[in-house]
């Protein structure tokens, strides 16, 4: 999918202010919950990079960061159902309190796979923080421990999220019209 005129076909869903206010709240809650723990943030690339960068600035605790890349969409707006790992974590997660930071839980397929994969690395705990959850699209039961916003089953772009690699640089979240 190629954008027509840049930004011409976008409708703002969550403004920069709304996103930042909620991310501040999530960071404060995570700070409370992870005091005294060995927190490792695992940012799921590419979509969560911007959310993760803002979120960790609101977590007032010692922590380390790792990155895991997974792709399932290709250039389409429907999940292909086939997951491709594009980058593995580089640190040991054994005995650590892992917090997966994801952009959006849609069908739940990706996160189910990630939780199974990270569990095999023997962490002390695994929790999930997702900026967005699409409850109507879920195909399996997924527990989102820290959820930014619940949205409808529309395809969204911006704030790290893309359509065919475009729009990741928007400061807000938009629906393609």
Contact footprint for ligand IMP (CB under 6 A):
47, 72-73, 79, 102-111, 155-157, 161
How far is Cα 151 from Cα 13, in angstroms, rounded to an integer? 9
103 near Mg ion, rule: CB under 5 A? yes
Kindly state the number of chain residues that form the binding site for Mg ion, as judged by CB under 5 A.
Answer: 3
Judged by beta carbon distances under 5 to 8 A according to partner kind, the member of ligand IMP, Mg ion, none in contact with residue 105 is ligand IMP
86 and 68 Cβ atoms separated by less than 8 Å? no
Cβ proximity to Mg ion, 27 vs 47, nearer residue: 47
* Known catalytic residue at 106: yes
User: Catalytic pick from 106, 145, 153, 162?
Assistant: 106
Quote the least distance from Cβ 25 to Mg ion, whole Å. 21
Instruction: Please give the C-alpha separations between residue 92 and each of 20, 41, 88, 118, in angstroms, as whole numbers.
Output: 31, 12, 11, 10
Cβ proximity to ligand IMP, 30 vs 105, nearer residue: 105
Instruction: Please give the C-alpha separations between residue 102 and each of 11, 42, 121, 129, 171, in angstroms, as whole numbers.
Output: 23, 9, 19, 6, 17
Q: Which residues are catalytic?
A: 106
């Amino acid at each position: 999918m190629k954008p027509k005129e840049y930004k011409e076909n976008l409708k703002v869903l969550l403004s920069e202010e709304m996103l930042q206010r909620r991310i501040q709240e999530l960071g404060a809650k995570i700070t409370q919950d992870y005091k005294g723990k060995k927190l490792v943030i695992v940012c799921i690339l590419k979509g969560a990079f911007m959310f993760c960068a803002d979120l960790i600035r609101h977590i007032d605790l010692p922590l380390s960061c790792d990155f895991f890349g997974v792709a399932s969409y290709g250039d389409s707006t429907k999940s292909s159902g086939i997951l491709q790992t594009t980058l593995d974590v580089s640190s040991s997660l054994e005995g650590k309190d892992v917090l997966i930071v994801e952009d959006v839980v849609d069908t739940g397929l990706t996160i189910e796979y990630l939780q199974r994969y990270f569990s095999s690395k023997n962490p002390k705990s695994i929790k999930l923080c997702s900026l967005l959850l699409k409850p109507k699209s879920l195909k399996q039961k997924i527990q989102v421990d820290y959820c930014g916003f619940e949205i409808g089953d529309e395809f969204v772009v911006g704030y790290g999220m893309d359509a065919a690699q475009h729009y990741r640089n928007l400061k807000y979240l938009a629906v393609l019209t």
